[in-house]
Structure 1
Amino acid sequence: MTTSPGSARATGPAGAGTRTRDDIERAHLVDPTDRTWSIDRASVSPDLGELARRFWIPVWDVPDGRDSVQRVLQYPVCLLVVSDGYARFHGVVSGLSHTTLTGRGWAVGLMFQPAAGHLLTGEPVRRMTDRWVELSALPRLDGAGLVRRVRAAMGPDPRDPAAQAEARTHVEDTLRLLLPVDEEGLLVNAVVEEVESSPELLRVDELCARFGLAERTLQRLLHKRIGLGPKWLIRRRRLQEAADRLRDAEAGLAAIAAELGYADQAHFTRDFRRATGLTPGEFAARFR
């Protein structure tokens, strides 16, 4: 299968496709022995860059009697997912997100920017934390029409790049009605980007200083626009960074703990296990 410009393909890690590790992969706690799925990823059109980050389109074929559990340390953004069986808008998951794949299927997913959740729901996004609603429940989205168009495009052959491109176009055309992004939305986008791109940033007061915001103001902003606070935001970025570094055969646990600002290896181990259900050593062993 070919991919369109601006897109990338990942398969179950031991499969025939090529896997490229990048910032997208940090969140996906993949099982490297699972060959039952593939994911095509694509960037959004430039005019939507302040509203959405990227598409992901998984296609799976899981043998009878088996399932494939996808575990994700979600980014601090809301998601849109249309499949052949459901169509949902997801708030941010504060813990570990689980999706179980069975049989054959596909989904068209869109990862929004932090600004988007409030624009779509019209209310503080904290009300959506660890929840999802049907697309038809969103006041500023023609959910039913969008679902019909995406399913019509993907139904004949969900692996067809042309079908995937058509589905992405339908999603983007619907979302353009939300533009332009408001000033508060642009600010929360910038705050989250600063955390995600600054591994040395370990404290909330440092983040406040970079934007000239009082901690209470930052708290209110993040709870309104992403549903969780600044301490969670920094901790989530550290855990994603840890998951990425643990895939490296040369990485040592003590060194990773120190580089990510943990007081010691024991603290790092407790934090990682609480978030993922695995110790750092158990997770790293999957890639050896």
Structure 2
Amino acid sequence: MLHPGRAAAVIELDRREPAPGADRFVEFYWLVRWDCRDRPPYEQKVLSHPHVHLVFEEPRARVYGVDRSLFVRRLEGRGHALGVKFRPGGFRPFTDRPVSGLADRSVPAAEFFGPEADRLNEDIMAGPADPERLRALADAFLLARLPEPDPTADRVAAMVERITSAPELHRVDDLAAEFGLGVRQLQRLFAEYVGASPKWVLRRARLHEAARHADSGADVDWAALAADLGYADQAHLTRDFTAAVGTPPARYAHGSR
């Protein structure tokens, strides 16, 4: 979430670990609760990660593919939503089609999980937004539908983890060589399992790192950070950040204070 400090006045975010078995496919469950009853509607912006989400929300459950732009959600009144954040590549075993078909869009969850997804959505929306209650419901739903383990999905998750944990990794061909693949093989794997190209994942990881520094409240040496993240210069980082977030990094950082 962008501007997490500002969002905290409106949004309460809770995370829970999935049950053993489900954790091979799911990174965590997230529960968002908001209360805008005494204030104007609030727009929350999210710089998405390379993950597919199953979201239980009003009016029905939906599956969200990787959003390669800036995800914006308008919050009004009081409400909650429960999300299942799949590991990179972790949603592919639940479907018979490439995950790239979900990029930048969402579809009703019933297309993948049948009418039981909508029935569970009614239960989640109608009952109390208790994190443990909702975790138990999500666990039961997924454990009854777990696919066979997919070693390729595990390998893709490791590739994305390598990108996100190694700011010094800047080039697609370096990633491909590290995992013993050709660049085209890597691109096909990411289209099939992630829903975004390896180049996009690399770039988005750098922007997340820049946003993390901006949200820290500390003074940032943007030229030094640009160099650390593999940009040719500060102007290149500024262009990328502005294109993705809608404001230059220094101005974004000022708004986070």
TM-score w.r.t. structure 1 length?
A: 0.83
Alignment of 1:77-96 (within 5 A): 77-96=51-70
Aligned-pair distance for 1:97?
0.8
In the TM superposition, residue 84 of structure 1 has moved relative to its aligned partner by 4.2
**Deviation (angstroms), 1:30:** 2.1
State the partner residue of 1:171. 138
For residues 118 and 180 of structure 1, what CA distance do their matches in structure 2 show?
11
> Paired residue for 1:116?
90
Deviations 1:95-146 (A, max 9, x none): 1111111111111111111223222332011111011011111157831333
Find the counterpart in structure 2 of residue 192 from structure 1.
Answer: 160
Aligned to 2:205: 237
Residue of structure 1 in register with 2:242 after alignment: 273
Per-residue CA shift, 1:126-171, capped at 9, x if unaligned?
A: 111011011111157831333244335xx2x32xxxx321211111
User: 2-side partners of 1:190 and 1:42: how far apart?
Assistant: 21
Gaps of 5+ in 1: 1-27
**Contact 2:3–2:215 at 8 Å: present in 1 too?**
no
Q: SS of 1:53's equivalent?
A: strand
Aligned partners of 2:228, 2:115: CA distance in 1, in Å? 43
Who is 2:116 aligned against? 142
Equivalent-residue separation in structure 2 for 1:198 and 1:106 (angstroms) = 34
- 1:185-225 Cα distance to aligned partner (Å, 9 max, x none): 11111111111111111001110111101111111100011
Give the structure 1 partner of residue 227 of structure 2: 258
Deviation of 1:47 after TM superposition, in Å, equals 2.6
Distance 1:139 1:56 in 2: 19
Partner of 1:50: 24
Between the aligned partners of 2:198 and 2:33, the Cα distance in structure 1 is 34
How many aligned positions are there? Answer: 254
CA-CA distance at 1:179 after TM superposition: 3.7
Q: Distance in 2 between matches of 1:236 and 1:58?
A: 23
Whether the aligned pair in 1 keeps the contact of 2:55 and 2:82 (CA below 8 Å) is yes
3-state SS in 1 of match to 2:85: strand
Render the CA deviation track for 1:40-84: whole Å, top value 9, x for unaligned: 112222332220111111111113561111111111110011124
In the aligned structure 2, how far is the partner of 1:236 from the partner of 1:203?
A: 13
In structure 1, give the amino acid aligned to 2:82: V
Q: Distance in 2 between matches of 1:60 and 1:112?
A: 23
SS of the equivalent of 2:21 reads helix
Contact kept in structure 1, 2:60 and 2:118, CA below 8 Å: no
2:6, 2:256 within 8 Å by CA — same for their partners in 1? no
Q: Tell me the secondary structure at the aligned position of residue 215 of structure 2.
A: coil
| 179-188 or 128-137, larger mean C-alpha shift | 179-188
1:207 correspondence with 2:181: no
Distance between the aligned counterparts of 1:271 and 1:210, measured in 2? Answer: 26
* Aligned residue number for residue 247 of structure 1: 215
Aligned identity (percent) is: 37
Over the aligned positions, Cα root-mean-square deviation in angstroms equals 1.8
Number of the residue aligned with 2:5:
32
